[in-house]
Amino acid sequence: MRLLALTLVLLAAASATEAQTTLRYGQIPSSIRSVSSLQYQVAQRQGYFAKEGLTIVPVPIDGGTDFMIQALDKGSVDITRTATPYLITAVLAGSDAAAVAGEVGNSIYSLIARPEVKSFADLKGKTVGLSLAVDTISISTRKLIAMNGLEDADYRVKELVGTPARATCLKGGECAATPLGQPEDFLLIAQGYHRLGLSTDAVPDSVMTVSAVRRAWAAEHKDAVVRFVRAFAQSFRFIRDPANRAAVVKIITESTGASEAIARDTLTLYYEPDRGVFPKQAEINMKGLAQVIQFMGEVGQVKGALPPPERFVDLSYLAAAGVR
């Protein structure tokens, strides 16, 4: 009996080892420790990946968001986080990539201005630090500025990829204003900088980032992709539950270095009222994705007839994970 019991234990351990899957997850270096990666931090710290038999190896991709799909296509990563405009551009150019889960929906970027810049009118003739033209950060900021009386010709633009680079430009004085995510915007406001407006004032419905895979690879590793999606879905449900607010605040402070007060202010901004920053359970907002495509058409990044958002996603993995 003892031999039989020992054999069963060893077989169970071997089975568990075999079921453990390692996935290389492409990350944007500038956002690994930002609130926009909260779902990843929660999934790791709450053990959701481990419960799904996954070991996630984060792979920082040098060069920023526009290189994420390139890394995916080259096979350097298995799954990658990416901003939707870069996914759309890559697919239109022939990439086999597809979004399988939502990460950040209607992201909130504050247009933060230097202390001497009191209003949008004060930006006239000055430099605004933006991301690349195709990025939703740039598109929403331009629309926000236009809503407040300035045309593109009224200010200069310096293209800077990543919140740290834009924040450095602002603090150094070369940029009069720049869009920043959380917690960087709250940190600078506390230092005397001004928030002129929010990206959601101009773009109330969008999809900022998604988890993307190569379709061919995902078809061969369907079970692993479903488990990854299911872990993220559980992470978003945890973040959204008011009963977990203290735990989420703790994760934000530990992963970003922000104070507890800023972490709480960030969650208040996101959820009181709910501005759709994070999905409910990793779903992809197809209406928001269509909005991104429309904006890309408006700025000339997508030519001709606008493609349907369904071209850029594979929702079967969400469905298999129980997400509708």
Separation of alpha carbons 248 and 239, rounded Å: 6
pLDDT higher than 90, residue 260: yes
20-104+208-320 and 110-202: same fold?
Answer: yes
Q: What is the CATH number of domain 20-104+208-320?
A: 3.40.190.10
CB neighbourhood size of 19 (10 A): 12
pLDDT at 32: 80
pLDDT at 135: 85
pTM, 2 dp? 0.85
Separation of alpha carbons 114 and 165, rounded Å: 15
Which tens digits make up the pLDDT trace of 112-143? Answer: 999 999 999 999 999 999 998 888 899 999 99
Fold of the domain spanning 110-202:
D-Maltodextrin-Binding Protein; domain 2 (3.40.190)
CB neighbourhood size of 3 (10 A): 7
Residue 12: band (very low, low, confident or very high) from pLDDT cuts 50, 70, 90: very low
Separation of alpha carbons 218 and 227, rounded Å: 12
Separation of alpha carbons 98 and 92, rounded Å: 11
Domain locations along the chain: 20-104+208-320, 110-202
Per the rule left: phi > 0, alpha: psi between -120 and 50, beta: everything else, 206 is beta
Separation of alpha carbons 133 and 139, rounded Å: 7
Q: In this predicted structure, which of 5-19, 68-82, 109-123, 297-311 has the lowest mean pLDDT? A: 5-19
Which tens digits make up the pLDDT trace of 146-201? Answer: 999 999 999 999 999 888 899 999 999 999 999 999 999 999 999 999 999 999 99
311 Cβ contact list (under 8 Å, min separation 6): 91
The predicted model gives 266-295 an average pLDDT of 95
Which tens digits make up the pLDDT trace of 32-90? Answer: 888 999 999 999 999 999 999 999 999 999 876 779 999 999 999 999 999 999 999 99
Q: What average pLDDT does the structure give for the chain?
A: 91
The predicted model gives 276-282 an average pLDDT of 96
